[in-house]
Every structure is written in structure tokens, then in C-alpha cells.
Structure 1
Amino acid sequence: MEFQEVVDRRRMVRSYTDEPVDPAVVDRALHNATRAPSAGFSQGWAFVLLDQPDAVRRYWEASTDPAALADPDRWLRGMLPAPVIVIPCSSKAAYLDRYAEPDKGWADRDESRWPMPYWHLDTAMASLLILQTVVDAGLGALFFGIPAHRQDDVRREFAIPDSHDPIGAITIGHPADGVGARGSASTRRRVPTAEVVHRGRW
């Protein structure tokens, strides 16, 4: 698939079959994620791969209220069959440590030096490479948030260390038609490029 076609075809998929995903596709997606840019080549990311039915089930149990699992809504019904989930995690410590090294010139790990949390931004760019790789393989994926009140449950269930923060989760699988919830893109227009590009100044 040509790169432009990958970009044009990328969409968030909210409905999956339970057909297995080729492990080689997942491995390629994770490999490509590590090709994302990162400030100072800090590479402060990690990925929890859940590609076995028991692990996927435990993710939904850890991240979802029991009442919702017992009576899933349209969104959850579409998502539950996805055979693969990736939890991208960012490490602030990796960036603070990296920029305290001699070649960066900072003598401390002061977080206030950072105008933006690049540990999250870089991990998000790595996540986009996962999404694009999945599209290139003819499959579907969705990046979505982990509910704030279930973050600690997910951390405990998958032994995610304090040094890393889950920034969300990514489902990967074969898209199914007509099962899952429609996304906002179905009700909101895509803003034209001309409305968001400001040439020379705002």
C-alpha cells in the first residue's frame, strides 16, 4: 500500500471479529513504533502486548466496571472481540535522566525545564506508527483512553512499574461491519486544511 493510501485510509475501528491477527503484523507494528522520534533520543516508551485471550480478557476486567461488562453497550460489544491490545506507556524519568547527561548540559532533572511533556508526545507518535502499520496490513485499530478511575487497576493487573504511565490502549484486529459504535468522524466534518494552516503568521 502506498504511504498516502495508508494515511487516507486510517480511521479508528470500533468493531472487530475474533479472527486471529498474524503475530508478524503485531511484531512489525511494535518494531515500527520504536522508529518514532524522541527528544534527545530518550526513547522513553514501553509497550505492554496482550495477544492471548486470557490477557485480553483481563484487560477488559481491569479497565471496565463490572456492570458494564455484564451488559455491554454498543461500543464495548464491538471492542471485546479484538484479539490484540497494546498498552503504550511513557517514562518521564527516561527524559529527565537523559537531559541530565553531560551532552545535554542540564545539571539536574528539573521537570520545569520542559515546556511540554515530551514523554507523552513521543509515545503518542510511536502509537500513531502502530496505527499506520496496522492499516498498511489491511487490519483495523483504535487508540482509546483508559478510564481515570481504572488506571490503578490496569497498572496492578499488568505489573506496570511506577516509572511508566499508560497513555491509553490500542485494539488491533479484523474490522467487522455494523456492530460497533460510530465515531465522532461520522457526525462531525473534517476541518479543511485551509482552515488550520496559517502561512507566515496566524
Structure 2
Amino acid sequence: MRADAQRNIDSLLEAAKTVFGTSGVDAPAKQIADLAGVGVGTLYRHFPQRSDLVKAVFQREVDACADAAPALSAAHEPGVALEKWLLRYTEFLATKRGLAGALHSGDPAFDALPGYFMRRLGPTLGSLLDAATAAREIRADVSAKDLLYAVANLCMPVDDEGVAYSRRMVGLLVDGLRYGAGTTPA
């Protein structure tokens, strides 16, 4: 792919993420194209259907979240890397709010996305959990699936509260993971 075409795709995905987060996935294509600095024709050339754009934004955000783990692991102790990744995941969930309606719409175009989510994020979080457990920095009785769902539930929208509230709730969860660290589960 030519560099300018890749720049256009990257700009469109970033603009769509922003617009979906504020206006929902049914926002006008022109709003997305304008924010990306391209024409509507460029948007449709790369993403002929709205579902193509929604899927691409979702997968890009899942990939970015998964790809953050190795750098966090390299830069921090295991427990801190896990905490920072969970906060990164919290940010992903805040972005996903704009996509949630489409993803749960029953549209068959989105059927593969939950599997993609688990295939990418489950092993990523599992490796962070394993390292933090081995270092005796968190309790050993929690799975990656448990945490993915727990954080998602903590990040459900609450009236008059934003992502800062979700970060605070996830911080409480992380504190709970540290309680009993180094002990054998009953």
C-alpha cells in the first residue's frame, strides 16, 4: 500500500474513533472525512460499508491495547505493568462506548468481533497475570477472562460520570487483586 493511502486509512480510523465516541456510529460520513482531512470518496474507497469502518476501528483499538502489554512488561515490575495495562484497557472500553450499539446490534458483519477480542486480549492479559502472580504481586485466583469481564462491568456508563470514574473503579479492583498476594487460594 502506498504511504499516502496508509496515512489516509490511519487518519480515517482515528477520526472515526473520535466521532463514534461523541456522535455514535451513525454519524455522517462527511463528519468523519472532514475530521480526517480527506474527501468522502476516500472514506468509501477504503471502507465501502459502515460496518467495514466500525470493524476496522474496533480491531485497531483491540490491537493497540494488546500491543501495549510487551512495552509495559519491559518497562515496569509485573504488578505495575498489569495495573497500567488494565488502565489502558479501561481507556479502550471508554472508546468502545461509541461502538457498543453497533457491535450488539445483531448485524452479522460483527459476529466475529467478540472472538477477535478474546483471542487478542485474553492471552495478552494472561501473560501479564502470570508474571504478576509469579512475582507474588497479585492474588493467584483470578483468570484473564475474569478480569476482562470485571473491568468491562466496572466501566459501564454511569450518569454524570466519565472515564475518570471508571479508572477509579478499576484502581479499586487492582487494590483487591493485591490483597492476599503471595498466599495460596483456599
TM-score by length of 2: 0.31
Higher helix share: 2
TM-score by length of 1: 0.29
Q: Which has the higher contact order (CA 8 A, sep 6+)?
A: 1
Higher strand share: 1
